[in-house]
Amino acid sequence: MRIAIVSDKAPVMNFLQRAVMGLEDHEVAWIALNGAAAVERCRADTPDLILMDLIMPVMDGVEATRRIMERSPCPVLVVTPTLEGNTGRVFEAMGHGALDAVHVPETGGGLDAGREMDLLVKKIAMIEKLKGQASPGQVRGGLPPAFDNGLTTLIVMGSSTGGPKALAEILSGLPAELGAGIVIVQHVDSRFSSNLAVWLNGQTGLEVRLASTGDRPEQGKVFLGGGSDHLVLTRNLTLSYTPEPENIPFRPSVDVFFKSVAKNWPSEGIAVLLTGMGRDGAEGLMALKRAGWYTMAQNEETSVIYGMPKAARALGAASEILAVGEVAPTIRRSLNRGKARTKALSWEW
């Protein structure tokens, strides 16, 4: 695997080089000192993965990611030694197509360097596995008996690459008095999940917060999966976390959550599968379709990565495809009709 490094900070650059050189069958493809140089280098020599610093002179990692995904798309992993004040930029970069983000030590060493190195190596391994799964693509009810809070409909959403921007657009198009509860699973490093919840909360009139064990979906509220384990809906209709299955590289997994909902939610609902690399969520969407849910998937034209939806369509889990801008109006119409129609959607990467 050929990995490019983009950073103007010598300690960060050295840390990233050590990480890549310590992996068997991996090599540093090239190094760029700013985003503008990375855009040109990527056009001439597109690597298998780019480790992209966030804050750099000339052109930052957000704009560099946007241009790379437009001109010579390849997987981008944001690496940043500075979290405070920069979480919005992280989610902007993910909205343009960065797969995920990971924290690296500012000095390249210190007490946490070993742990940060392990996390980075795991992220690289996860992306390599996802690349192996991905098909060639383009960048571009009734009241549940256990509830007494008036919730009649559950909406679930799953997303990965490009997801934060898509989720923000959808949530901003839903009214604060939405007659449903929402639970979201977005592939994002556990250290960024709480900040993602805060960021999304600022994009909508709905209340967005991280899901905690024991929470129940509530009308007009949005729960976001966070942490390093999988989010699930339990038999008691509460949210919880589980480390199983351990062999799934991305956490939380959309498939794990969707399947738990299909198994335990006692009525129909609305499911949305959004832009993302790989196949996660396709089997779960099919399980929800079979349970009578109205399933939706983002179309290729508005997906940053058309992989997860494409896999769902291949399974027959998605019978309707929507542009991201059509998802919120469709949800509103479905809720206004008082029921989730039994249809389905599709996607790709």
Q: What is the CATH number of the domain that holds 305?
A: 3.40.50.180
Q: Are 201 and 170 contained in the same domain?
A: yes
Any domain includes 148: no
Q: Does residue 271 form part of some domain? A: yes
183 and 129 in a single domain? The answer is no
Residues 303 and 164 reside in one and the same domain = yes
Indicate the length of the chain as a whole number.
Answer: 349
User: Which residues make Cβ contacts (< 8 Å) with residue 130, sequence separation at least 6?
Assistant: 75, 99, 249, 250, 277, 278
pLDDT at 195: 92
Cα Rg of the chain, angstroms: 20
Residue 206 and residue 332 in one domain = yes
So what's the pLDDT on residue 84? 67
pLDDT in the model for residue 20: 92
Q: What is the pLDDT of residues 181-218, one digit of tens each?
A: 999 999 988 888 999 999 999 999 999 999 999 999 99
349 lies in a domain?
no
Residue 346 forms part of a structural domain = no
pLDDT tens column, 95-144 = 888 988 888 887 766 556 778 888 899 889 888 877 665 443 444 433 34
Residue 326 pLDDT more than 80? Answer: yes
Show which of 133, 162, 193 is a domain's final residue.
133
Return all residues near 343 (Cβ < 8 A) that are at least 6 apart. Answer: 294, 295, 319, 320
In this predicted structure, what is the pLDDT of residue 132? 63
User: Among the three residues 103, 133, 163, which one is the final residue of a domain in this structure?
Assistant: 133
Whether the upstream peptide bond of residue 252 has omega within 30° of 0, thus cis, is yes
Q: Where are the alpha helices (DSSP H) in the chain?
A: 10-21, 35-44, 61-71, 87-95, 113-133, 163-172, 190-201, 254-264, 282-290, 308-315, 324-336
More confident residue, 143 or 326: 326
102, 133, 164 — which closes off a domain? 133
* 74 lies in the same domain as 185: no
Residue 24: partners with Cβ closer than 8 Å, 6 or more residues away: none
pLDDT for the residue 140: 43
Q: Name residue, tokens 């379709």.
A: 289
pTM to 2 decimal places: 0.73
Domain region containing 323? 154-336
Residue 39 sits in a domain whose CATH number is 3.40.50.2300
Domain count, the chain: 2
Q: Which stretch of 131-135, 315-319, 328-332, 340-344 has the lowest confidence by average pLDDT?
A: 340-344
Residues identified as active-site: 160, 187, 280
